[in-house]
Structure 1
């Protein structure tokens, strides 16, 4: 399976000529990531993970494109593209399904707390083919499985570096790559990734930074 990193939280997975895209948001190259994709997974409703305009355009272009997203997001898409409603499904926690040839398992249910005055929204983490785990905006540790590849929210308004390190060490995936990184300066990114790499290695985690549009076979 080929994993390609786009800006911020957007990831494209490809196998056997079929592509699945996770979290094409407004901070990402959403149109590029979605080009030719067979399916989309959205973790939650925040714009940095959900570019509604580009996703609606993709649904209009491709009559076979499928989308799974939390109910609020799915509802918005069905309103914007009623002709595509049958291809837009609500993603629920603790479920398993097949999507465009990929096996998908869901975890979690709630976005990490940003501020006590801001109500958390629904957030679904996705495990793809029993291998790649995209947590969205949460530190939910998938239970009952051993993820092989972890996508690490390296920085966010709702987290601190110690929590990022603890999350990586708790999941203990052999490989880890950064997501949710656009708000950090180059110096800040090097610092946080250095901490993740240093302490993760003690738990058998090999962390690697991916540049925008860089791909890696997993």
Structure 2
């Protein structure tokens, strides 16, 4: 499986001619990410993970394209393009399904707490082919599973470095790459990733940075 990292939280997965994209948001290079896409997963409703106009455009352009998302996102897509409503599917923690030839299991259920005055929204983390885990905006550990590749939200208004490091240590994936890095400058990213890499290595995780547009074979 080929993983391509795009700016912030969007990733593209390819295998055997099939293409799955997770979280095409407003900070990401969505035209490149969605080229030839055969299925889309969306973790939650925030615009840095879900560019509604772009996803509606993808649905309109491809009548067979399935989109899987939490109910509030799915409802917004159905309302925005009723003609494509049958292509949009609700996801929730505990669900499993296959889309575009990729096996998907769902975890979590809610977004990490930003502040008590800010309502918590639904968030679904996706484990793809039993190997790669995209948690969206949460640090939920998929219990009882050996994740092979972890996508780590390295920085957000709802997190601190200690929590991110503990997440990496708890999952104990052999390899990890950063996501949710679009709000950090080069200096902040370097400091944050150095802590994750150092402590992660002590617990068996090889963490490394992927540049926007960079691909790696998993």
TM-score, normalization by structure 2? 0.99
1:189-204, aligned counterparts within 5 Å? 189-204=189-204
Distance 1:182 1:57 in 2: 24
Unaligned runs of 5+ in 2: none
String of CA shifts for 1:117-140, please: whole Å, max 9, x gaps.
001000000000011000000000
Q: Secondary structure at the match of 2:98?
A: strand
Partner of 2:129: 129
Runs of 4+ in 1 over 4 A off after TM superposition: none
Partner of 2:115: 115
Q: Secondary structure at the match of 2:216?
A: strand
Unaligned runs of 5+ in 1: none
Distance 1:70 1:30 in 2: 20
**Number of residue pairs matched by the alignment:** 218
Distance 2:92 2:117 in 1: 25
Partner of 2:57: 57
Distance 1:143 1:169 in 2: 13
String of CA shifts for 1:50-82, please: whole Å, max 9, x gaps.
000111111111111100000000000011111
Partner of 1:19: 19
1:36-75, aligned counterparts within 5 Å? 36-75=36-75
Q: Secondary structure at the match of 2:124?
A: strand
Q: Secondary structure at the match of 1:176?
A: strand
Q: CA deviation at 1:100?
A: 0.7
Distance 1:205 1:144 in 2: 17
1:20-35, aligned counterparts within 5 Å? 20-35=20-35
Q: CA deviation at 1:148?
A: 0.3
CA RMSD for the aligned pairs?
Answer: 0.5
Distance 1:185 1:155 in 2: 11
Distance 1:11 1:143 in 2: 23
TM-score, normalization by structure 1? 0.99
The reply on whether 1:78 has 2:78 as its aligned counterpart is yes
Distance 1:21 1:73 in 2: 16
Q: Secondary structure at the match of 1:170?
A: helix
Q: CA deviation at 1:31?
A: 2.1
Distance 1:163 1:30 in 2: 29
Q: Secondary structure at the match of 1:35?
A: coil
String of CA shifts for 1:82-125, please: whole Å, max 9, x gaps.
11111100011111111110000000001000000001000000
Q: Secondary structure at the match of 1:97?
A: strand
Partner of 1:207: 207
